[in-house]
A = this chain, B = another copy of it.
Amino acid sequence: MKVTVIVTLKPTVLDPQGNAIQRNLETAGISGVTDVRQGKYFEVEVSDAVGASERRVLIERLARDVLTNPVIESYRIEWE
């Protein structure tokens, strides 16, 4: 079963990479974009041998303890 985890910077955290993209858009002839923020996107495949409730705990742990730096990032899980 496939689950998606999206990790984004907290709103109060600066995103220099996103800012650099936004500033360079004018050079590429693209105007009208006022802000770009970059996050991470993970497609996670869980074995079908793992039960539904166990899967929930597993993915929560994966997202919280492995994929996210809780000081500057937050995560969201999309169950498909």
Contact residues of A with B, CB < 8 Å? Answer: 6-8, 18, 21, 24-25, 28, 30, 32-47, 49-50, 54-55, 58, 61-62, 65-67
Contacts and interface: CB of A to CB of B under 8 A. Distances in A.
B33 A46 contact: yes
A33 to B, nearest CB: 6
A62 to B, nearest CB: 6
* Copies of this protein chain in the complex: 2
A66 B25 contact: yes
B49 A44 contact: no
A35 B32 CA distance: 38
A41 B41 contact: yes
B46 A34 contact: yes
